[in-house]
Amino acid sequence: MNVYLDNASTSFPKPKTVSDSIYNYLTNIGGNPGRSNHSNALESNRYLFLARETIANFFNFNKIENVIFTNNITSSLNTLVNGILKPGDHVITSSMEHNSVIRPLYNLKETIGIDLEIVSAKSNGIIDIDSISKAIKNNTKLVIITHASNITGSIQPIQKIGELCKKHNIFFILDSAQSAGVLEVDFKEFNLNALAFTGHKSLLGPQGIGGFIIDDKLNEICNPYILGGTGSLSHSLLQPDFLPDKFESGTLNIPGIIGLYEGIKFIEKEGLNTIYEHNAYLRSYLINEISNMNNFTIHGDLNPSNGTSCVSITNSKLDVSELSFILDSDYGISNRSGLHCAPLAHKTIGTYPNGTVRLSLGYFNTLEEIKYTVDSLNKI
C-alpha cells in the first residue's frame, strides 16, 4: 500500500475537476487576460474574474479587485512586508513562523533596521495572547502570525490577536498556508488587514499559485515589490496605483489560477466543516494510537480538536532521517523529516536541531490508510 502523508507540503491527489480544468485551458483556451481582445483572451479574463470573486467570497471579503495573485505564498509575504515596513518600524511575530515570514523580516532587520520582536510560543506550539500584548510598543506597526503550525498543526488564537491589533491600531497580516481549506478563515471576523494564501496545499490547487487579499487601509501604504507590464496604462513609465494591477506585473499563471478556482469550488461543494471533521477524526485516531507506542513521542498540542492535519513524531532509537526513510522505502508512506523550514518552531517545541518526522493528513486519506500507518509504526 502507498500512503501519502505529506499534505502539509503539498496536497495530493487533487480533485479531478482541478486537473481537468487545467487541461481544458491549456488545450482549448490559452489566451492571456488583460493583454488582448480576442475571444480566447476574453475567456481567460472571465476565469480570472470568477477566481477573484470566489476567493473573496471564500475568505469573506467584499472587494474582488483586492484579491492579488502571486506565484506562491512566499511571494505574497515578501511583497507585503517589503512594501509596508520602513526603518525603525516595530514588528511582532512568533517563534512558530515558517522561514517565509522569518527570513524576509530578519533581512529587513539587517538591511534597513526594523525593530523585530519574535514572541516565544509555549512548548506545545501555542502563542500566549498576553505575550503579544506585552510586546506592543508605541511604534509597533505590524503583527504577522501563522494561523496554524506547519509542524504540529497547532491552531493559534487568531481572533483574539486580531482584536488586540484593532484595539491598538496595528496592522495584522495572517499566514494561512496551513489553515486555508481546512479551517474557516474569515477576513472580517479576524480583523485582518492582509491575508496571504497558497493554492497548492489544502485549497487543492496546483503548485505555483498563491496570492493575498489586502484591505484599502493597508494598500494605501504598501508599495509594490515587483514592477512591470500590467496591460494597463501602458503609456506611463510609472506603475499603476490601482488594484489589482498595482501588485500584478507580468503574465499571470492562468492554469494555476483556474486550478485553484476549481479546488475552492470542490471545497465549497464538500463543505469546509466536513473536510475539517474528516481530518480531525483521522488525526485523533493517529495521535491516540501513537501515544500508546513505545519509543515514539508526539510533539506539540496533543488535543486533536486544536490542530489541522499535522502529527510530528520522533523515535528514541532512530534518527528522524532514518525513520523517514524506513517509512517511505519499506512501507510506502510518504512523509517529511527535518526542520520543515521552521527552525525557531523546532526550538520552541524542543526538537531542534534534528527536527521531527511529520505525518500530515489530507481529505483524500482513509481510515484504512491510517490504520496501515499505525501498523507500520508498530513494526519499526
pLDDT tens, 150-198? 999 999 999 999 999 999 999 999 999 999 999 999 999 999 999 999 9
Q: Are residues 90 and 227 in the same domain?
A: yes
Chain centroid to CA 363: how far? 16
Q: Write out pLDDT tens, residues 48-78.
A: 999 999 999 999 999 999 999 999 999 999 9
Residue 42 confidence (pLDDT) above 90: no
The percent helix, strand, coil of the chain (3-state, each to 5) is: 40, 15, 40
Q: Are residues 167 and 305 in the same domain?
A: no
Q: How far is CA 64 from CA 55, 61, 158, 254, in A?
A: 8, 8, 23, 17
Distance, in Å, from the CA atom of 179 to the CA atom of 194, rounded to the nearest integer, reads 15
Element (H, E) at 353: none
Distance, in Å, from the CA atom of 364 to the CA atom of 4, rounded to the nearest integer, reads 9
Strand partners, 312: 299, 358
Q: Are residues 199 and 324 in the same domain?
A: no
Q: Are residues 208 and 276 in the same domain?
A: no
Please name the residues in contact with 82: beta carbons below 8 A apart, sequence gap of 6 or more: 104, 108, 223, 225
Q: Are residues 253 and 283 in the same domain?
A: no
What does residue 58 show for φ and ψ, rounded to 5 degrees? -60, -35
Q: Which of 254, 269, 284 is the last residue of a domain?
A: 269
Residue 236 confidence (pLDDT) above 90: no
Residue 340 maps to which CATH number? Answer: 3.90.1150.10
Total domain count for the chain? 2
Q: What is the pLDDT of residue 311?
A: 98
Q: What is the pLDDT of residue 221?
A: 98
pLDDT band at 316 (very low <50, low <70, confident <90, very high): very high
Percent of the chain residues past pLDDT 70, beyond the cut: 100
Q: Are residues 204 and 65 in the same domain?
A: yes
Q: What's the whole-number mean pLDDT along residues 131-148?
A: 98
Q: What is the pLDDT of residue 348?
A: 98
Residue 238 confidence (pLDDT) above 90: no
Tell me which amino acid residue 272 is: L
Q: Are residues 137 and 8 in the same domain?
A: no
Rg of the chain, C-alpha, whole Å: 21
Q: Are residues 252 and 361 in the same domain?
A: no
35-38 long-range contacts (CB < 8 A, ≥24 apart) are 35/231, 35/251
Give pTM, 2 decimals.
Answer: 0.97
Element (H, E) at 100: helix 99-111
Q: Are residues 245 and 301 in the same domain?
A: no
Q: Domain range for residue 309?
A: 3-12+271-379
Q: Are residues 226 and 357 in the same domain?
A: no
Q: What's the whole-number mean pLDDT along residues 246-250?
A: 96
Residue 71 maps to which CATH number? Answer: 3.40.640.10
Q: Are residues 164 and 285 in the same domain?
A: no
pLDDT band at 107 (very low <50, low <70, confident <90, very high): very high
Q: Are 364 and 6 in contact (CB under 8 A)?
A: no
Q: Which of 235, 251, 269 is the last residue of a domain?
A: 269
